[in-house]
């Protein structure tokens, strides 16, 4: 699977619900970290203001949007949210079903984890597990 496929799987796990910027960044970071050797196409996360960040995550979703698989919506607060379209959910679930059951469960846990925590709790938990990703942080917990 390539990065677009893996991102599509992660978005599909929300079943049309959206991810905030910090949620999609941390979900893809955790997917990369926890399945490090399982896939040959990874993101290049670096420490940033709120932990691991790779602008290619956003570019990937933008590409998916141009193919009708994702939607990016601007919130009233001025930041984007990221979700699959119906076609994206269908395709993402097809891809998910090609993974080993352990991978499916892990990705499902990642999706639930990042979407259930508050911004502060999510960033803090990433810093606790990956302290090297705090190097350029502006966030204080």
Rounded CA separation 95/111 (Å): 15
10 Å CB burial of residue 21 (0-12, 13-18, 19+) is middle
Q: Which CATH class is domain 3-131?
A: mainly alpha
Ramachandran bin of 51, using left for φ above 0, alpha for ψ from -120 to 50, beta for the remaining angles:
left
pLDDT in tens, 35-58: 877 777 789 999 999 999 999 999
Q: Give just the sign of the alpha carbon dihedral 16, 17, 21, 25.
A: negative
pLDDT in tens, 80-98: 999 999 999 999 999 999 9
Percentage of the chain modeled with pLDDT above 90 = 85
Q: What rounded mean pLDDT belongs to the chain? A: 93
Helices (H), the chain: 3-12, 21-34, 55-66, 86-96, 101-116, 119-129
> What does the radius of gyration of the chain's CA atoms come to, in whole angstroms?
14
Choose the weakest-confidence range: 22-26, 33-37, 125-129.
Answer: 33-37
Domain ranges of the chain: 3-131
């Amino acid at each position: 699977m390539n990065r677009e496929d893996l991102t599509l799987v992660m978005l599909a796990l929300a079943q049309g619900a959206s991810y905030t910027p910090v949620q999609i960044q941390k979900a893809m970071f955790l997917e990369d970290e926890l399945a490090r050797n399982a896939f040959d196409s990874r993101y290049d996360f670096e420490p940033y203001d709120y932990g691991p960040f790779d602008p290619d995550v956003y570019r990937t979703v933008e590409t998916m949007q141009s193919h009708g698989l994702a939607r990016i919506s601007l919130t009233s607060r001025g930041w984007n949210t990221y979700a699959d379209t119906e076609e994206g959910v269908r395709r993402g679930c097809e891809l998910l079903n090609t993974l080993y059951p352990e991978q499916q469960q892990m990705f499902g846990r990642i999706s639930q984890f990042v979407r259930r925590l508050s911004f502060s709790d999510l960033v803090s938990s990433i810093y606790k597990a990956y302290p090297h990703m705090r190097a350029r942080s502006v966030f204080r917990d």
